[in-house]
Amino acid sequence: MSHTAVEYSGPERVFSGVQPSGDLHLGNYLGALKNWVELQDAHDCVYCIVDLHAVTVWQDPKKLADQTRNIAAAFLASGVDPAKSIIYPQSRVKAHTELAWYFNCVARVGWLNRMTQFKDKAGKNSEKMSVGLYDYPVLQAADILAFKGTHVPVGEDQKQHLELSRDIAAKFNNDFDVPAFFPLPEPLIQGPGARIMSLRDGSNKMSKSDPSDNSRINLTDSADVIAKKIRKAKSDAGVIPESIEEMDGRPEVANLVGIYAALSGQSQQDVLSEYVGQGFGVFKPALADLTVAKMGPITELMKRYLAAPDEIDRILAAGADAADQIATPIVDDVRDIMGFWKV
Ligand code: TYM
């Protein structure tokens, strides 16, 4: 990994998070989790279940803790190893909310007004949304910077939030004349998995909130369901083209080829060369087989972890303690820098 900001010379640390607001899907796996696993061997990694972000829209209190365990099971089943990476629920580490408040006083209203994800989620109802949903990207900046995170592996949809995190870090360093205090976190947005689209509409991203379950492959789907969803996925009457440029204007085709490439670890061009001239009657079954082969073991492992919730709770509690030990001293330094009273 390249070095981050010119000024910051602290250690590199990877930070990322997922909301416990529903089942994870193939987009979350290929855009984030798969890369997390690859990073943990050579880097110091902190992976957070961002329940404080989830409650920016209504979450049933009877379900929230189980949703959190469910995401933890998905992390573990995907290969995130608690012996190498810290895994914990955000709400258990108070540094997030404290730093978010300080950052609320650094970030500008104009910056938040430009966030497209709020506009997409709120639609015409922005006046009725929670203040938390509007402020969400500031909390995200606090998540990363409470750990002085230098690298953030995410899908393409998080790019603008990461730019805001950099702006907040830079303004804090500048306003308080501490140029080397916060790193400017770098997004790691990699490969064909960074932007997985809906199986029903290649111009919308695959999303937990899409009302059609056929639009996504959930990490909990059985082999039969995965195969059926891929069979039904939107494609066209054409064949697999020779080059990436020839997929222009064929978003569904580009998406299916991208999923194949991300799952198999090949480039999109390699996939095209292998299937050039074939129709979807051939390509879809091959993609279904590949998806089942890669995701099936994860689904099975997830079930095993979920059958042992005490083990999950133990991992999360230990992770929260370890996270606290890193973040609390950093936020204490912020308090000193800002000049709050202390004895
Ligand atoms: P969330 O929970 O929506 O998504 C989790 C991760 O999955 C990625 N992702 C996708 N990647 C490719 N194709 C898709 N269709 C797709 N859909 C989702 C997301 O980019 C993300 O990496 N705001 C974040 C959570 C967050 C966070 C953070 C991330 C809170 N604090 C600090 C990094 C650092 C979110 O809502 O992710």
Give distance in angstroms: CA of 156 to centre of ligand 1: 9
Which one-letter amino acid corresponds to residue 56? Answer: T
CA 276 to chain CA centroid, Å, is 32
Summarised one tens digit per residue, pLDDT across range 91-131 is 999 999 999 999 999 999 999 999 999 998 888 889 999 99
Ligand 1 neighbour 74 (Cβ under 6 A):
no
- Residue 214's pLDDT is 97
Summarised one tens digit per residue, pLDDT across range 122-178 is 888 899 999 999 999 999 999 999 999 999 999 999 999 999 999 999 999 999 999
Could you tell me how many residues make up the chain?
Answer: 343
14-195+308-338 and 220-303 in the same fold: no
Ligand 1 neighbour 226 (Cβ under 6 A):
no
Token pair in block for residue 107 = 């970030």
Token pair in block for residue 338 = 């800002």
Give the Cα-Cα-Cα angle 239, 243, 245 (nearest 5 degrees).
Answer: 105
CA 122 to chain CA centroid, Å, is 20
- Residue 286's pLDDT is 97
Ligand 1 neighbour 19 (Cβ under 6 A):
yes
For the cut 50, the answer to whether the pLDDT of residue 3 exceeds it is no
- Residue 22's pLDDT is 86
Give the Cα-Cα-Cα angle 234, 236, 240 (nearest 5 degrees).
Answer: 110
Give distance in angstroms: CA of 17 to centre of ligand 1: 7
- Residue 209's pLDDT is 87
Atom 31 in ligand 1: residue holding the nearest Cα:
140
Give distance in angstroms: CA of 341 to centre of ligand 1: 37
- Residue 304's pLDDT is 97
Assign 7 a pLDDT band (cuts: 50, 70, 90): confident
Instruction: Name 86's bridge partners.
Output: 46
What is the atom index within ligand 1 of the atom nearest the CA of 197?
A: 15
d(CA 94, CA 182): 19
Residue for token pair 């004895």: 343
Summarised one tens digit per residue, pLDDT across range 254-303 is 999 999 999 999 999 999 999 999 999 999 999 999 999 999 999 999 99
> Is the torsion defined by CA of 6, 10, 12, 13 positive or negative?
negative
- Residue 342 and residue 105 in contact, taking contact as beta carbons nearer than 8 Å: no
d(CA 336, CA 25): 42
Assign 1 a pLDDT band (cuts: 50, 70, 90): low
187 SS3 class:
strand
Residue for token pair 């369901």: 225
Domain residues of the chain, as ranges? Answer: 14-195+308-338, 220-303
For the cut 80, the answer to whether the pLDDT of residue 4 exceeds it is no
Ligand 1 neighbour 53 (Cβ under 6 A):
yes
Closest CA to 88 of 306, 323, 342: 323
Give distance in angstroms: CA of 65 to centre of ligand 1: 19
Token pair in block for residue 167 = 């702006």
d(CA 330, CA 146): 6
- Residue 123's pLDDT is 87
Give distance in angstroms: CA of 260 to centre of ligand 1: 21
What is the atom index within ligand 1 of the atom nearest the CA of 193?
A: 12
Give distance in angstroms: CA of 176 to centre of ligand 1: 30
Ligand 1 neighbour 54 (Cβ under 6 A):
no
d(CA 20, CA 208): 10
In testing the pocket of ligand 1, which one of 96, 103, 154, 217 has its CB within 8 Å of the most ligand atoms?
154
Beta carbons within 10 angstroms of residue 203's beta carbon: 9
Q: Which residues are catalytic?
A: 121, 205, 208
Q: Which fold has domain 220-303?
A: Tyrosyl-Transfer RNA Synthetase (1.10.240)
Summarised one tens digit per residue, pLDDT across range 205-256 is 999 989 999 999 999 999 999 999 999 999 999 999 999 999 999 999 999 9
pTM, full prediction: 0.96
Helix 280-306 vs helix 251-264: crossing angle, to nearest 10: 50
Ligand 1 neighbour 158 (Cβ under 6 A):
yes
Summarised one tens digit per residue, pLDDT across range 172-213 is 999 999 999 999 999 999 999 999 999 999 999 999 989 999
Q: Which fold has domain 14-195+308-338?
A: Rossmann fold (3.40.50)
Ligand 1 neighbour 90 (Cβ under 6 A):
no
Ligand 1 neighbour 199 (Cβ under 6 A):
no
Token pair in block for residue 93 = 């580490």
For the segment 77-89, the average pLDDT, to the nearest whole number, is: 98
